Amino acid sequence: MITRLWKTVPVAAAIMGTAGFVVMAIASAGCTTGQTVMAHHTRATFVTPGPSSPATGFIAGILPMGSIAYDNRSLPLVSPDGSFVATQVGGPPEWSTLLAATGCPLPDDSRIEIYRLDRRLGEAELTWVTEAGLLLGRGGDERGFLVEKPQPDGARWIGSMSWFGGRTTWMVTGNDVNAFASLGPGKRLAWSRRAGGAEHFDLVIRHGGEQWTVGGEGADWLMPVWSGTNLFALRLHDGRLDAVFMNAATPDTTRETELRMVIATGRTRYDAWQCLAGHAGNSRTAGTTNDRTEPHLLLWHPGATRMAMWLPWSSPAAPMLLAPQSIAAVVDPSGNVLVTTPDGIRLQNPADPERSRTLIPGTHVLRPVMDDTWPYLVLTPESDRIGLMAMRLLPYK
């Protein structure tokens, strides 16, 4: 059983509600102004969404869920329904190991712990600890989460570990170096692959019993992210780092729909890793598409040193920069963006990065989950620990 974090919630004006969660007033993002109130010792503006709408803000409900260990390098993965968390513990792997470099050491001190989250009790219960030598992957689905296992001969395998009991199904094996995998809907899988003696990674896509490759041609294809049948990936060639969009429904559409945007020059694989280090492993966080929005990619921009949103259809040449100093972001159902900054979680209209309002003070990273009552899990990195809180936003007039 894990100690609850009631005393670590950094909210000066918080009060405890009858349901056992912290309640606070916060602002909604937008371009119009209304009445102002004081909350957390900061000014929060309740904006008017439309000419006929009343001035509206939100109440944030926060339910502390305890804390879990982590290795100070890889953020935990959260199951789509928010019931489980997987975290990498032990001595952090070498950067060469995380980046799947030739000759990298094995992660002999790395293990993965699985926790079950109980929102009724506000606790995180440790349910499984793996053997040493596994690396936490970049996402998961309702069945399990991705892991990587570097082999003594230099190869690397990709598997899916069950949230329930830690059983691993190996999805990609063999003699190649397979890394940076991403799970998509309908059991889609995309990952980076290079032969043991090769220098560069190709992009491999698997769906519906078919598998095809996007050749590197002297470039590295890295960190793929699914968005429905669409796929984003990063391409590194002679130091130039590009974001690439493609409709990966079939081999033909993959080739025919490719769009590229230059992110920065003079970059390395480490920069590519940093661009999507805050990615939560599901389409609601890094890239998404629905009836109202086009596919978009949220990434940390190394040149602007802040988060950015790339809209490949409407703005193919340049990304939309988000709040200054932001390091992670999530798009909420209204189209506003919840961004992580050193000062707190901020809500902003993506079209106006200079206008945003602080929701929760402190450094936190949000993970959206498919839970109507608590649609976000808040991760609070500390030394060797990650604090956990469930969060919801309620309309306030």
Q: In 10 A of CB 55, how many CB atoms? A: 17
Task: Identify the residue with better confidence: 130 or 61.
Answer: 130
CA–CA gap between residue 169 and residue 337 (Å, rounded): 35
pLDDT of 38 over the 50 cut: no
The confidence score (pLDDT) of residue 37 equals 27
Bridging pattern class, strands 42-45 and 296-301? unpaired
pLDDT average, residue stretch 258-284: 87
The confidence score (pLDDT) of residue 83 equals 95
CA–CA gap between residue 360 and residue 345 (Å, rounded): 5
Q: Which of 359, 305, 364, 363 is nearest to 336 (CA)?
A: 359
Stretch among 10-19, 165-174, 330-339, 354-363 having the lowest mean pLDDT: 10-19
Distances (CA, A) of 8 to 60, 67, 362: 16, 10, 10
Type of residue numbered 135 = L
CA–CA gap between residue 189 and residue 149 (Å, rounded): 17
Stretch among 43-52, 121-130, 222-231, 339-348 having the lowest mean pLDDT: 43-52
The confidence score (pLDDT) of residue 3 equals 27
| Dihedral sign from CA coordinates of 130, 136, 140, 146 | negative
The confidence score (pLDDT) of residue 137 equals 96
The confidence score (pLDDT) of residue 80 equals 94
pLDDT of 21 over the 50 cut: no
Category of 266 on φ-ψ map: left (φ > 0), alpha (ψ -120 to 50) or beta: left
Q: By the 8 A CB rule, do 76 and 56 touch?
A: no
Task: Identify the residue with better confidence: 116 or 59.
Answer: 116
Task: Identify the residue with better confidence: 51 or 71.
Answer: 71
CA–CA gap between residue 379 and residue 384 (Å, rounded): 13
The confidence score (pLDDT) of residue 216 equals 74
| Structure tokens given for 147 | 């892991």
> Residues 6 or more apart from 76 whose CB is under 8 A from it?
68, 70, 85, 86, 87, 88, 136, 379, 386
Task: Identify the residue with better confidence: 372 or 237.
Answer: 237
Q: pLDDT-derived band of residue 61, with 50, 70 and 90 as boundaries? A: confident
Type of residue numbered 273 = W
Q: By the 8 A CB rule, do 76 and 378 touch?
A: no
Task: Identify the residue with better confidence: 31 or 92.
Answer: 92
CA–CA gap between residue 307 and residue 341 (Å, rounded): 10
Type of residue numbered 355 = R
Exposure string for 338-357, b = 16+ CB within 10 A, e = fewer:
bbbbeebbbbbbbeebebbb
pLDDT digits (tens, 9 = 90+) for 322-349: 999 999 999 888 788 999 999 899 888 8
pLDDT digits (tens, 9 = 90+) for 358-376: 888 899 999 999 998 999 9
Q: By the 8 A CB rule, do 243 and 260 touch?
A: yes
Domain ranges of the chain: 76-175
pLDDT digits (tens, 9 = 90+) for 120-137: 888 999 999 999 999 999
CA–CA gap between residue 335 and residue 374 (Å, rounded): 18
